[in-house]
Structure 1
Amino acid sequence: MDSNILKKLPILLIIVLLSIVFNIVAQNSAKAEACIRDADNKIKVKVSPSNDSGGNGQIVSHTAGSYVKDSCNEQPLFYKVKFYRFMVCTADPFVAGTGDTGAEQDFSSCEDIFNSAAGKDIIITPTGQEDLLEGDLVLPIGSYPFAAVIVDNELKVKHQETFVKADGNDPTMNGFHASTYSAGTICWSIDKTTVYTNRAEGQQVGSVGITESYIATATNNTQKLGMACGTSVGANYDYATEIIDSVDSTCDTSNDCGTTFRPYTGYEEIGSIGAEMAGALLQTDEAIATTLANAQRIFGAFKLGTPLVITEDIAGLELQFNTSESVSVDFQYDGGGTDIQAKKIGVEPFGIKFVITNK
């Protein structure tokens, strides 16, 4: 990028070897909505509670002994995200819209560290790390109080869990199958695509004129479940995909996501990454998205608690991903409330902590 910083400071550039610069690692944090587990690390579920009449909402516990949820969040075993850009900025690149209308973002003060039209898939694991760049990194010296990323809005996870009843016995977990339920105490992700807003199938997703295949999960429909279950993990264990077609919490709250589209959400403080984060949905050309159909990128802006200060002493730049709650394990009762159906593996967005190491 031909930036003002590079024009003013043409000699103040440093080259850092890739091998110590840009590792992507998973970062653990407190799990406010974590699944409650027994001593064997199995998720505790409650089958057919007497006060629920087979309805949703009282299947898993978020606090010991209180079964009031139909989902719980965990750290995924494998989290796949496609990166298009990573930038550091001297001014805020996020521009909030007005009402339900988004605004174009401002990247004029940003320096590209990674920029790829084709994108690059990164797989994040709880203990692994992976390089984003493929070569030496040229960094302009300066102080950067903002950072930004642009990623695909189709996030993927590969994950499995084992379940136990509240009384310690084995539950019957029903999952996907072409004809009859797959059943057992272990459930795993399969190659199914869902959308974050859970809107009906057949609506347009992606580029104009293209309708992607995704499911809207349905009770008592074996082909409309997003996990398979059994006594051991099956051969169809695969990545599940979630299309993030909304970043606006008011849309989720009012349950009008199918009719109302707001492509941005303002800054919120995220203590685990030491920054505030705002987001917007973009089109493939990085223009602000205007409909559910043309939203295909997630733009994340980070207002850093401590600016990234790049000097001659820099030894590395690391992105630490907080994926500690990025899998939502979702459940529903069958029509009679006697068995639990593994509804889907939902994918939640991530947080990023930016860390510079010096020599």
Structure 2
Amino acid sequence: MKLKFTLVLAGLLVSTAIVVSAETETACERVDGAIKIYEIGDNPVKDTDGNAGDACKELPDNYKINIFRFGLCTASPYNATNSLDSCSFLVNSDAGISHEIAYPAKADVTTNSKMAIGSYDHMVLVLENKLGIKHTEEFDTAIYGATGSGKKCWTIASTTAFAGQRSGVIEASPATPAMDCGDTPVPAYSYEIFDSMGEGGESPVFKAEDDEGFEMQGGIMRAKLLKSDLTTATNFEDADRMLVAIQLKSAKAISESTTGFEIRFKMTDSVSVDLSYDEGADRLYAVKNGADPFQIDLIVK
């Protein structure tokens, strides 16, 4: 993860690094660092408030994204035509720039553009809607995965879909888990495609946009699924990219005295470790690591 670059802005040397921040607490109750299994059943785990369920929100070991656009804007990029005309970019690539995020590592990110001097009150990120997760989790009780059982479970090479409606993916279940378990973890990247901004279920309805913004420390974040040509996606199959737009609480100023940038990802709770009970076999399976939202900020130095 030592991808380095130099960026000349107003005659200055500018550097950009990705920083991952995280809290130490996790959503599920643990015993000696391992997630506690309360029952081999439908609600095997409990969150830190004591609520029973079948999933834990965790900090992933590794998170992989493919970035097409990243920058700041003077007008909202979350608009009817998805116009980015008001934006100035650090990353502007039709092919995409792959980047792997790992906590607590700090790594340079490849950029291919420069920010124009000015004041910006919006941030934009356009990335592939296929997010990669490589993760190992430990439980206090042995459970099952794709080929074995054990207290340690990890992601395997596989692709799932958020709403479960994309062709060519597996449906994570006890029959086809996207995780394996045993004594010696050999994690690989598992990918989740956001085929809709809405849940699946028995009568799924495609949604290209989220219903409301997500409030975070730096502003209000909204997301929209796009086709590869950056027009709004129309169905489960043609969604190829994700537009993330943030209305900033405080404007970002780029000036001749700017010496660098830090792109900060907050990854806490950005993976959902999903469990599923097979009643017929009376077995609990680790079936999937689902991609949940992360937070992003740009620090101007």
Same fold (TM over 0.5): yes
Q: Please list the CA deviations of residues 111-147 of structure 1 after superposition, one character each: whole Å capped at 9, or x if unmatched.
A: 1221111111111011112322357x63322110001
Are 1:60 and 2:37 counterparts? no
2:210 maps to which of 265, 270, 282: 265
For residue 79 of structure 1, the aligned residue among 63, 66, 69 is 63
User: Percent same amino acid among aligned pairs?
Assistant: 31
The aligned counterpart of 1:185 is 151
Which one has the bigger helix percentage? 1
Matched, 1:232 2:208: no
Shift of 1:336: 4.5
Counterpart residue identity of residue 198, structure 1: G
Q: Quick check: 1:122–1:130 contact (8 Å CA) kept in 2? A: no
Query: Which consecutive unaligned segments of at least 5 residues does structure 1 have?
Result: 1-12, 49-53, 96-102, 165-170, 205-212
Question: 1:17 Cα shift?
Answer: 2.5
1:234-279 CA distance string (max 9 Å, x none): 4xx20010001122xxx32x84663x212012552433x4211011
Listed as ranges, the matches of 1:149-298 within 5 Å are 149-164=125-140, 171-177=141-147, 182-199=148-165, 203-204=166-167, 213-219=168-174, 221=175, 224-234=176-186, 237-247=187-197, 251-252=198-199, 255=201, 258=204, 260-265=205-210, 268-271=213-216, 273-298=217-242
User: In the alignment, which residue of structure 2 is the partner of 1:3?
Assistant: none
Aligned residue identity for 1:268? G
- Equivalent in the alignment of 1:44: 36
Q: Which amino acid aligns with 1:243?
A: I
User: How many residue pairs end up in the alignment?
Assistant: 293
Provide closer, same or farther for how the CA distance between residues 312 and 228 of structure 1 changes in structure 2, counting only shifts above 3 A. same
Contact 2:97 2:110 in 1 (8 A): no
Q: What is the match of residue 28 of structure 1?
A: 22
Residue 167 of structure 1 is matched in structure 2 by none
For 2:4, the equivalent position in structure 1 comes to: none
* TM-score normalised over the length of structure 2: 0.90
Equivalent residues in 2 for 1:77-116, closer than 5 Å: 77-95=61-79, 103-116=80-93
Greater strand content? 2
Partner residue of 1:334?
A: 278
Residue matched to 1:98: none
SS at match of 1:265: coil
Once the two structures are superposed, the pairs formed by residues 8-27 of structure 1 within 5 Å of their partners are 14-18=10-14, 21-27=15-21
Deviations 1:70-91 (A, max 9, x none): 1011111110000111121111
Given that residues 280 and 288 in structure 1 are in contact (C-alpha distance below 8 angstroms), is that contact kept between their aligned partners in structure 2?
yes
Mark the runs of 5 or more structure 2 residues left unpaired by the alignment: 1-8
Cα deviation, residue 29, structure 1? 4.3
Conservation of the 8 A alpha-carbon contact between 2:128 and 2:240: yes
Two-structure CA RMSD over aligned residues (Å): 2.1
